[in-house]
Amino acid sequence: MSKYMTFPEAAFKDRDLLIAALEEIGCSYIRQGADLEMGRYYSEQLEQKVPIVIPRGVIGNDYGDIGFELTESGEYRPVMDELDRSRALNGRFIPKLRAAYNERVIAKVAARLRGTIDRSVEGGVVKIKVRY
Amino acid sequence: MPEINFTIDAQTGEMEMKVEGVQGPQCADVAKIVTELTGTPQQEENTKEYYARPNVRPQIQNKQL
């Protein structure tokens, strides 16, 4: 069954960093606005209005658009068809987006502290040291 | 020199951070900068350094009479 769901385990506070992270993981087309309607391609997909939309098909999301809703606490949370969760970026859409977003967070923190960054990858873990 | 050690799990995208070389609640200032961008952490723990007293040297000024 195809329906839009919110995935609360992923939350993104900074809109600019979120857009940059989306671009990095391959979202070549991103719609931005206030109350953008997510497409309804199946009858079970209820109406959703969100400020950020990745249109259907851009990143392997064959069942519907991927949206980001803005919560009362000021966080953007992904809304996507439950079937796309295992299809978009071969099911790696949310983990890859979180990793790309978090790397941008670290770069911004380092810039604010006027620090230096030392990055390495060990066994599937990205290690970043910020000295300031 | 203070440093922040971040780790990002490539499988989940989850991030952990540890502030080192900063004694006392000053490390909370660093944590605040991060949480402004990430939101409230799932788990937070203060290290021994947080409870340590920072070395503060008394500053003595000569009074000119």
pLDDT recorded at residue B60: 58
A114 in B contact zone (CB under 8 Å):
no
Q: What is the pLDDT of residues A32-86, one digit of tens each?
A: 999 999 999 998 899 999 999 999 999 999 999 999 999 999 999 999 999 999 9
How large is the ipTM? 0.89
A22 in B contact zone (CB under 8 Å):
no
In chain A, the number of structural domains is 1
Average of per-residue pLDDT across B6-35: 89
Query: Domain span at residue A84?
Result: 4-131
Residues forming beta bridges with residue A32, ordered by sequence position:
A52
For residue B28, what pLDDT band results from cuts at 50, 70 and 90?
A: confident
What is the chain A residue with the closest CA to B34? A109
What ranges do the domains of chain B cover? 3-51
